[in-house]
Amino acid sequence: MLQGSILQKLETAHRHSKRPLNFGVYYKNTLVSLCHALEDFILESGGKPLTIAAFQRGKWYLQEAERYSQLAEKSSQVAIMAAPDTGFAEHSTSQLKNVSLVSLDPADPVAQEWHLIIMSETYTAMVLCQELSESDYGVKGVPESDRDRKFYGFWTFEPELVRETIDLAIAHIGNYNRDLQQTLGEQAQQITAAFGTTERDDIGIVVSRVVDYLQSSQHNLYQTGEDQLHTLPIEDKVLDDNLLSNEMQAFLRMAQLIDQADATNPMAASEVAALCEAMGQLLDLPAWQLKRLRLAGLLHRLIPMQGVEDVLDAPKSPVQKEVVGQKESLPKASVLRIMPQLQAIAHIVTHQTEHWQGSGKPDGLAYDAIPLESRILALIADFQQRVATYQSQDNSLARALSDCRAKAGTVFDPKLVEALELLTIGMQQGMSLQVNQPKIAAGMWLIDSHSSE
């Protein structure tokens, strides 16, 4: 990373923290689709965000200047950083009262970065990337095709991380314009003070849009002159994988945000995923099924489900109450179903609210008609939630197991409850489960050839 760049400063601040940043490599086409999706939601957002962007050079800003005119109408302030080119300051968008240009010195490390930072009281998102250097590209050198340019960084919806980055960007702008630094700083403080006082925008809509834009970019790779599919050359296959990986990242980041907002159970997804995997190993499931179980565990809180209150009758966090309250507004697993590679995962998560004896939802399936992974997920998710609820009390594992055992043969598969008893005994005797936050920037590993079965 370039010394003194915004990305490098943020990485340094988090290098030894409990939540290190998840970096990945992104192609330009991927970043264009991703940024357009995040930007376009500003037009639907309930807030008036402060938006700061870095375009490297003025010519890249000029390609987006018209759309930024629309974004400015919905923003409190837009600040654009770029090394100036001809026409950089003359475009009509640049003359708008709430649009400010910051002409970067070409030697400034931020002139090699691509940033989009959006912060309002209802919506936060950002993309933070730095273009690979000539040496980073290796023996093949800098690509001739513009779309094959690569950037190193990450993107997120996390409010605290967005605010931290906004502060870094504003401080950097202060090197060029102290008055603008003060104006942006005051607006950031006002937004921070108002954050949480109004209802946040629906992050599910943003995620759906991100996936839709990335899928459109994928589709364009397959187009021929006659609009027919053809075999991708190797360089396009790599770009296709990059787009697909970011579709997966969108869902993982959404699930991560739900967990982070739940102060009573902030590790739910990671712990459920680890427990599901351990249960699958105990049942001697094949590797591909273990991977599918793990992914279902990571995404199990993502979708409002029919009947979830019947399964989880333990006290609910505000996040769970919000999810349950929305359950009637979405079809089964609608969010996940927009990505073809997640059809099997959507099926598993959909049926986690079925009951063993057939009284559950959405389809009233019973016994072995309920997918095995759904039965495991239902039991493990309930068990993990109860352990989190009882964590301040003695014997939290035993209490949670007792609650689950009481529902064996009615809500839960009795054979799986027996397996959970063995798993619980192991944990009580010191067996440790590897519970890690998923490396979101490497989401592709979670998809394999069995994913759509």
CATH numeric code, 6-201: 3.30.870
Task: Give the C-alpha separation, 24 to 8, whole Å.
Answer: 14
pLDDT computed for residue 316 by the predictor: 38
Task: Give the C-alpha separation, 307 to 64, whole Å.
Answer: 46
pLDDT computed for residue 449 by the predictor: 37
Task: Give the C-alpha separation, 285 to 289, whole Å.
Answer: 6
Amino acid at 448: D
pLDDT computed for residue 18 by the predictor: 72
pLDDT computed for residue 191 by the predictor: 94
Tens-level pLDDT at each residue, the chain (453 residues): 889 999 999 999 998 877 778 788 888 888 888 899 999 999 988 889 999 999 998 888 899 999 999 999 999 999 999 999 878 888 999 999 999 999 999 999 999 999 999 999 999 999 999 988 877 777 777 777 777 788 898 888 889 999 999 999 999 999 999 999 999 999 999 999 988 788 888 877 888 888 787 777 766 655 543 344 444 455 556 666 666 777 777 777 777 777 776 778 888 888 999 999 999 999 999 988 998 899 899 888 876 432 223 323 333 333 334 333 433 333 344 556 656 677 888 889 889 999 999 999 888 999 999 999 999 999 999 999 999 999 888 889 999 999 999 999 999 999 999 999 999 999 888 777 766 655 555 444 445 434 444
pLDDT computed for residue 124 by the predictor: 93
The phi, psi pair for 50, rounded to 5°, reads -90, 125
268-446: CATH architecture:
Orthogonal Bundle (1.10)
Q: Do domains 6-201 and 268-446 have the same CATH topology?
A: no
Give the residue extent of every domain in the chain. 6-201, 268-446
Distances (CA, A) of 45 to 49, 117, 169, 338: 9, 15, 22, 22
**Structure tokens given for 311:** 């399964």
Distances (CA, A) of 94 to 73, 90, 106, 169: 13, 7, 20, 19
Closest CA to 67 of 26, 29, 35, 89: 35
DSSP helix/strand/coil, 217: helix
Q: Can you give the length of the chain in residues? A: 453
Task: Give the C-alpha separation, 306 to 368, whole Å.
Answer: 20
Contact criterion met (CB below 8 Å) for 253 and 440 = yes
**Structure tokens given for 233:** 């050359």
